Amino acid sequence: MALYVDSAYIVDIVRVAETVPLAGVTTNPTILLAARERGQTQPPESVLGELLRSVGGVIFMQPGATDDHEMYQEALAYIQASPERVIPKIPMTHVGMRVAKRLKHQGRRI
């Protein structure tokens, strides 16, 4: 069994990671917004960096952009933060499927 925390609120994630072994963390724009509403003000890239430093496992980050180029660039930036540990979660939209196809053709994990 693999346990993934579905959150972006660093304090909660670290607490869980101290209690049980995690396979990783999953996030999306709504989850990032919920963390912001709880007072966490870092942009998504900083949250990703903190997650990479604070917990082990795979980090799934969903781009928040809705435009092809911006979503692709955001996904690439996430991957480049740690290619072996970060996998972009691509939304199931027309734009998302075009971006997913492009990333997959490049051999990227999605």
Residues with a catalytic annotation lie at: 89
Burial 29-65 (b: 16+ CB within 10 A, else e): bebbeebbeeebeeebeebbebbeeebebbbbbbbeb
| Residue 24 Rama label (left phi>0; alpha psi -120 to 50; beta) | left
Instruction: Pick the closest to residue 96 from 13, 28, 42 (CA basis).
Output: 28
